[in-house]
Amino acid sequence: MADRRPILLDCDPGVDDALAILWLAAHPELFDLRAVTVAAGNVGLELTVANAQRVLDLAGLGDIPVHAGAFRPIGAPRGKISMVHGKDGLGDIGLPPATRPPAAGHGAQAIIDTAHSAGGRLHLVATGPLTNIALALLLDPELPSLIDGLTLMGGAAFVPGNTTPAAEFNFHVDPQAARIVFENGIDITMAGLDVTRQAVISPQVMAQLSGHDAPMRGLCGKLLKGYRDPCLHDSVVVAWLMAPQLFESVPAHVAITCVPGEIAGQSVAATTERHLAGRSPNATILTRLDQRKFEAMFLSSMQALERRL
Ligand code: RIB
Ligand code: CA
């Protein structure tokens, strides 16, 4: 196969993480998914690990190693779990249980080992709190030179947060981790709420999906029914990797607020010369998305996955 991109996904499934996994699985001609590492986030670590395995099994990727990572954030321990993704984290739709134990080794170590074995070509994709990636960076100073970039869902640069008025969930859960990641000189593409709030599935398509007898589209319909958020936040990172031309973006220096309280995890983006104040941009912030093309890509990828299974 042509030049497939080596990928490691760090996630906290989560319904929208699950849809991102299915989308990656639909395109083995583009993505060489080497490993999945998991953090606590949408639900506790035991459930997020099991959920990653359950979805990989359904996507025909049961052989991809799933490593449990951090059971709590680097900063303050997690607050109460939100019900946005249902009690089990996958919309409580009764998916079959995971069929295998997690792979040996902590998620942070798996990130390091996978980066070394990919010889500098590994692309990190993150769709949860950044705890595992931050721990990997603290463990291995060589890591930034070993990865070709990080595409993440998180933050809210020019729009209000979703967890507090100032902060988006993934950054609010572990602000210290986000600060470590943004301060490490990695080539970051940030899909924050600025762009992911545009990643909505129209009512027409939702109607098409619910009760669809095709396996993947039917599964997406069920998952989305159990998901109390209209936006496919995490899938945006896959759409960006496949079709950057659908997006608009701006280079920025992003600083993460780490003081406790409502502004913890705020992503403060400087784009003008005056705001940059001599600092170089440390991220590309995605700002606009062609919603109709995003939706069409999502549907055609689910059909592609159905053809593979
Ligand atoms: O703010 C949305 C993000 O938080 C998504 O990644 C969702 O899965 C949750 O992790
Ligand atoms: Ca997530």
Q: What digits encode the pLDDT tens for the residues 240-252?
A: 999 999 999 999 9
Ligand 1 site, CB within 6 A: 12, 14, 16-17, 41-42, 127-128, 153, 162, 168-170, 233-234
Q: What is the pLDDT along the chain (309 residues), one digit of tens a residue?
A: 568 999 999 999 999 999 999 999 999 999 999 999 999 999 999 999 999 999 999 999 999 999 999 999 998 777 667 788 999 999 999 999 988 899 999 999 999 999 999 999 999 999 999 999 999 999 999 999 999 999 999 999 999 999 999 999 999 999 999 999 999 999 999 999 999 999 998 888 888 888 788 888 999 999 999 899 999 999 999 999 999 999 999 999 999 999 999 999 999 999 999 999 999 999 999 999 999 999 999 999 999 999 998
Q: Candidates 234, 236, 266: which one to mutate for ligand 1, based on the most atoms within 8 Å of Cβ?
A: 234
CA distance readout (Å), 275 to 21, 99, 180, 236, 254: 37, 51, 21, 28, 11
pTM of the predicted model over 0.95: yes
Determine which one of 27, 67, 85, 233 is catalytic: 233
> Which atom of ligand 1 is least distant from the CA of 196?
2
5-308 topology per CATH: Inosine-uridine Nucleoside N-ribohydrolase; Chain A (3.90.245)
Return the exposure string of 233-245: e unless at least 16 CB atoms fall within 10 Å of the residue's CB, then b.
bbbbbbbbbbeee
Q: What is the pLDDT of residues 116-141, one digit of tens each?
A: 999 999 999 999 999 999 999 999 99
C-alpha to C-alpha distance for 289 and 281, rounded to whole angstroms: 21
**Active-site residue 212, yes or no?**
no
Q: What percent of the chain has pLDDT over 90?
A: 87
Q: Kindly give, in sequence order, each residue whose CB lies less than 8 Å from that of residue 176, ignoring residues fewer than 6 positions away.
A: 73, 74, 75, 134, 258
Tokens 């003081």 belong to residue: 259
CA–centroid distance, residue 274 to ligand 1 (Å): 32
| 13, 86 Cβ separation under 8 angstroms | no
